[in-house]
Structure 1
Amino acid sequence: MTDTTLSDLVHADETTPSIWPGLALAAMIAALAFALRYLPGVGMLSPLILAILLGMALRNTLGTPEVAKAGLAISMRPVLRAGIILMGLQLTLGQVAAVGWVGVAVIALSLVLTFGFTTWLGRVLGVDAKLTQLIAAGTSICGASAVIATNTVTRGRDEDVAYAVACVTIFGSLSMILLPLAENWLTLGPRGFGLWTGASIHEVAQVVAAAFQRGEEAGQFGTIAKLTRVMMLAPMILCLGAFAARRHQGQSGGGKAPIPWFVFGFIAMVGVASTGWVPQAVLDPATAVTQFLLAMALAAMGLETDLRKLAAAGGRPALLGAAAWVFIMGVSLALIILTGAA
């Protein structure tokens, strides 16, 4: 009996793939992404974007080791969800109050209108529905973080995630250059310009880079406005999860609904941060850990992304991303002017 049990254990150990090689590979790529940010000209890209680019480069040159597959799957699911939950510690209800109800209304309406417009245009252009939702989420909410969070509900291909991240990277980077130039003749003022950057630019790092070009007040307000927009990730994911569940039940006549339970953890962390009881000595490391976990998830997605499949999607998704980018810049600016938020 003992010999049989030991034999079974040895056999299981030989056939069950270890998660550690994949986790280690994703972690090493994430660490390299953080290190590369110190190179001149690279700091404008977030570690999340650098991580998926590095993963894609490795996947499409040397290939992804088979031994890493199990660990990469863990990076794209539990590790990703842990990062999203911890992201809640970066946000407080006090930040929302600082933006003011008019500013929050501008941000929320810009988000909803952009998501709706992108979804509609995606259907018109014939872009895959899952890829459309990822581009819509990345453009309307918070860039790469929103893309990977939304994909937990939409369950698109890794190539879809990579394409959506590429869109928010390119067009968000263009916003960093164009919005400060536009302010030269728009003259929105520090708070108005900060609100415009926070309501329209994709990534937090991109908002910081653009808003601070117009001074300290614009930079601070733009950052707070952007974090307020990030907070809207939770209700958006819950709504998408509810729609996905309804669609799933309609197609299969029942079955388990894809409820994004981790979003409630995100909301709980926002509540914890809002109490003011968490010391800065804890919040700073938590922010770094959050970014690292999300970078690991994107590195894993990059390692599973085949550029040939990415190219097969054609130019229509890129056109969709460009149209969504122009739309959110235009609609948020119009709302700021119409509401007098400037």
Structure 2
Amino acid sequence: MTDAVPGIVLAGIVTGAAFSLHEVPGFGLFSPMILAVIIGILFANVVGTPQGSLAGIGVCQRNLLRLGIVFLGFQVTAGQFVAIGVSGLAIAALALSTTFFFTLFAGRLLGVETGLTQLIAAGTSICGASAIAAVNGVTKARDQDVAYAVAMVTLFGTLAMLALPPLAIVLGLDAREFGLWAGASIHEVAQVVGASFQAGPVAGETGTIAKLARVTMLAPMVLLLGVFLRGKTSDATARPPIPWFIFGFIAAVLLNSLVELPHWMRPVLTLMTSLLLALGLAGMGLKTEFTQIRALGARPLLLALTAAVFIASLSLMLVKIVG
């Protein structure tokens, strides 16, 4: 275990830098997870990741990242489904599931590698970098694929965060409609908050709840994907593992819904979630080189753009029809 210490320390330094940068004006709209993977990539390509740190980086990528997914469950309660209403939940669920499968189909048409397509589909439709990390626990995609998918979430989630508020004014959406649209279509929780609260507290609260409803759907989507991949693989030794950490996520959601946790514990759990997820994604960034990302070409970029436009358009249509 001692050979893992250098890598964990290095990932911790990157994570600390990400949390610090998150506090700088203008960078607060980006989650520490996104900042951690970006800083990790920059370090790996400018300074270079020492070989002696790879064991610890692997611990961050596997163990700590999965523990972070479990902790993510403490940010969601069953009551949030009730608060958003049947129509709001229907919008979030339909937008998520349809976008996920549309992106898989579009990726096949564009000739994008299957693992990368699945990561882009998850990041766009569910909850950004957290979903990419969780789905990668099943797909076992390459580190450069994870980094590329996170970069796409950052790019198009940020563009959506900036574009949706003025578009909502042009389209004449009220506060609740805009909140539902933002929560059902923008990639990251921080990006949803940044966009929806521009239209006031009603839009902000509605958008946040709609987004957290999408986060809750992470568990069934990852489980279904795991079952699907196991069914497609004939070699039992090569089958993707059952994502046991998702059951931990479900247990955390149930506990958070049924038990009144002390008020002081909630900010601690939220911080631990961000810390663990950032450590895992920092590890992925530290193992990613620009040459590997460039080698993926422009097709994944086109796929991520197509998926982002699709979920924004579909969510808007559903808000107008159902909301």
Identify whether the pair has TM-score above 0.5, normalized to the shorter chain. Answer: yes
Aligned to 1:78: 63
Q: 2:232 aligns with which of 247, 254, 267?
A: 247
Which residue, out of 255, 278, 289, partners 1:272? 255
- Paired with 1:185 and 1:337, the residues of 2 have a C-alpha distance of 14
Alignment equivalent of 2:293, drawn from 301, 307, 310:
310
Distance 1:287 1:188 in 2: 32
1:176 aligns with 2:155: no
1:195 to 158, 175, 180: 180
| 1:27-42 equivalence runs, <5 A | 27-42=12-27
1:132 maps to which residue? 117
**1:51 maps onto 2:51 in alignment:** no
| Structure label with greater radius of gyration | 1
Of residues 261, 264, 276, the one that matches 1:293 is 276
CA distance in 2, matches of 1:48, 1:255: 30
Secondary structure at the counterpart of residue 102 of structure 2: helix
For residue 3 of structure 2, give the secondary structure of its aligned residue in structure 1.
coil
CA contact (8 A) 2:229 2:239 kept: no
Shift of 1:173: 0.3
Distance 2:61 2:298 in 1: 27
- Give 4+ residue runs of structure 1 displaced > 4 Å after superposition: 253-257
Deviation digits for residues 278-306 of structure 1, max 9, x if unmatched?
11211111100110000000100000001
1:172 partner letter: G
Structure 1 alignment gaps of length 5 or more: 1-15
Change (3 A) 1:38 1:253: closer
Deviations 1:30-50 (A, max 9, x none): 111000112222111110111
Match of 1:63 in 2: 48
Does the CA contact (< 8 Å) of 2:138 and 2:240 recur in 1?
no
Q: Aligned in 2, Cα 1:253/1:157: closer, same or farther, shift over 3 Å? A: closer
Q: 2:310 aligns with which of 315, 327, 335?
A: 327
* Distance change >3 Å, CA 46–CA 254, structure 1 → 2: closer
TM-score between the two structures when normalised by the length of structure 1: 0.92
Identity percentage of aligned residues = 50
**TM norm structure 2:** 0.98
Residues 5-27 of structure 1, C-alpha deviations (whole Å, 9 max, x = no match): xxxxxxxxxxx861111111111
The answer for the alignment partner of 1:102 in structure 2 is 87
Moved more, 319-328 or 256-265: 256-265
Query: C-alpha distance in 2, partners of 1:266/1:282?
Result: 17
* CA distance in structure 1 between the partners assigned to 2:10 and 2:269 by the alignment: 22
2:245 to 262, 279, 300: 262
Contact 2:139–2:240 (8 Å) recurs in 1: no
Q: Which residue of 1 aligns with 2:223?
A: 238
SS of 2:26's partner is coil
Structure 1 residue 257: Cα displacement = 5.0
